[in-house]
Amino acid sequence: MPIRAFLFDLDGVIVDTAIYHYQAWKRLANELGFDISEEFNEKLKGVSRTDSLDLILAHGNLSLPDEEKTSLASQKNQWYLDLVSRMTPEDVLPGVASFFAQVRKTTRSEGPLLTGLGSVSKNAPLILERIGLADLFDVIIDGNKISKGKPDPEVFTKGAAELGVNPDECVVFEDAVAGVEAGKRGGMFVVGLGSPDVLTQADLVAPSLEQLTVDQVFDQFELK
Ligand code: B16
Ligand code: MG
Q: Which amino acid is at 35?
A: D
Residues designated catalytic? 9, 11
Closest-lying ligand 1 atom to the alpha carbon of residue 123: 16
Q: Around ion ligand 2, which residues have CB less than 5 A away?
A: 9, 11-12, 46, 175-176
Instruction: Please give the pLDDT value at position 1.
Output: 79
Within 10 Å of residue 108's Cβ, how many Cβ atoms? 11
What is d(CA 169, CA 177) in angstroms, rounded to the nearest whole number? 21
Q: Are 205 and 191 in contact (CB under 8 A)?
A: yes
Within 10 Å of residue 25's Cβ, how many Cβ atoms? 22
Q: Which ligand is nearest to the CA of 79?
A: 1
What is d(CA 149, CA 9) in angstroms, rounded to the nearest whole number? 12
What is d(CA 210, CA 203) in angstroms, rounded to the nearest whole number? 18
Domains of the chain: 5-16+92-223 (3.40.50.1000), 18-84 (1.10.150.240)
Instruction: Please give the pLDDT value at position 107.
Output: 81
CA of residue 109 to ligand 2 center, whole Å: 32
| Residue with CA nearest ligand 1 atom 3 | 46
What is d(CA 210, CA 178) in angstroms, rounded to the nearest whole number? 22
Instruction: Please give the pLDDT value at position 224.
Output: 76
Read off the pTM. Answer: 0.92
104-113 pLDDT per residue, tens: 999 888 789 9
Instruction: Tell whether the torsion through CA atoms of 2, 182, 24 and 146 is positive or negative.
Output: positive
What is d(CA 33, CA 26) in angstroms, rounded to the nearest whole number? 10
Residues at CB less than 6 angstroms from ligand 1 = 9-12, 21, 44-49, 52, 77, 119-123, 143, 176
| Residue with CA nearest ligand 1 atom 19 | 119
Residues of the chain under the 50 pLDDT cut = none
Instruction: Please give the pLDDT value at position 11.
Output: 93
Chain centre distance of CA 4: 20
As a whole number of Å, the end-to-end CA separation of the chain is: 10
Q: ∠156-173-57 over CA atoms, to 5°?
A: 70
Ligand 1 binding pocket mutation candidate from 7, 47, 120, 199 (most atoms within 8 A of CB): 120
Instruction: Please give the pLDDT value at position 4.
Output: 96
